[in-house]
Structure 1
Amino acid sequence: MTGRMTVYFDGGARPNPGRMEIAVVTGGRSHVRDDVGQGDNCTAEWLALCFAAEIARAAAAQDVLFVGDSRTIVEQALGRWACRSPQLQPHLAAYRAIVAAIPRVHVRHVRRSKNLAGYALAQRHPR
């Protein structure tokens, strides 16, 4: 694969904590997983980033930009903020193991209004 693969990720729990769901959007295609267990929003965001990384690795991507709206998850994935939660540390370790096979990995924070995966989840819960 050539060029950069951009992968949007988002996760949420309803209520928080509650039933988690995650979404990944790349190449104009949405990948949504319902009911990925019970947990909080941070856990759901980590599960979404790991799912995004799995999709990128399966596509044999060489240069990946992961885009998410959770500042905490983005900063922890970049190694700028420590992940002190024993509950979340296994997800950070899983993410690092998955992306170890990808030569170039970038992670960027965007506002929720710019996260395509956030839209994919929001469409499932009309107001």
Structure 2
Amino acid sequence: MKIFFDGGLRPTGMEWAVVVGGQAHIERGLGAGDSMDAEWLALIAATRLAHVHGLVDALLMGDSAAVIGQASGRVRVPPAYRGHFRLWSDLPRPTGRFRLRHIRRTQNLAGIALEKPWVAQRMGSREE
């Protein structure tokens, strides 16, 4: 099952979106932070949703090469983001294969949902 995730930063604070099975889950106004914090929060949310939905063989896809590299162990996690990494590492995983993949921004349905609220609504957005 493909799961798209993306984090963003606006003047009103951080936000994330996760798209699972065509359903957009969006959280806005998450307070201060930077874009990497927002991307980590999106990955954490995607992992939680994959587990909650009981998905099997989850493929989490996002456009942040840095976060995906850090989470997969290919890139060193900077000290500022180690708390996010520890939290994500301790989360329960869905059953079966659990994979992370970097995709282009234009392929990321979660990023599209964050940029264009009407797309998220049409996809069945649920503001959580």
What TM bracket, shorter-length normalisation?
0.7 to 0.9
Rounded to whole Å, the distance in 1 between the matches of 2:93 and 2:110 is 23
Residue identity over aligned pairs, in percent, reads 40
Unmatched runs of 5 consecutive residues or more in structure 1: none
Rounded to whole Å, the distance in 2 between the matches of 1:103 and 1:74 is 19
1:82 deviates by 0.8
Out of 94, 102, 107, the residue aligned to residue 109 of structure 1 is 102
Rounded to whole Å, the distance in 1 between the matches of 2:116 and 2:54 is 29
Out of 9, 12, 26, the residue aligned to residue 13 of structure 1 is 9
Q: Could you say what secondary structure the match of 1:60 adopts?
A: coil
**Aligned partners of 2:51 and 2:93 also within 8 Å:** no
Moved over 6 A (4+): none
Amino acid at match of 1:73: V
- Output the aligned Cα RMSD: 1.7
Deviates more, 1:56-65 or 1:21-30: 56-65
Rounded to whole Å, the distance in 1 between the matches of 2:105 and 2:96 is 28
Q: Could you say what secondary structure the match of 1:49 adopts?
A: helix
- TM-score of the pair, normalised by structure 2: 0.85
Amino acid at match of 2:57: D
CA offsets per residue over residues 57-98 of structure 1, 9 Å max, x none?
10122311000000000111111001022x211111111111
User: 1:39-118 alignment to 2 at 5 Å?
Assistant: 39-85=33-79, 87-100=80-93, 102-118=95-111
User: 1:32-43 alignment to 2 at 5 Å?
Assistant: 32-43=26-37
- TM-score of the pair, normalised by structure 1: 0.86
Unmatched runs of 5 consecutive residues or more in structure 2: 119-128
1:124 deviates by 3.5
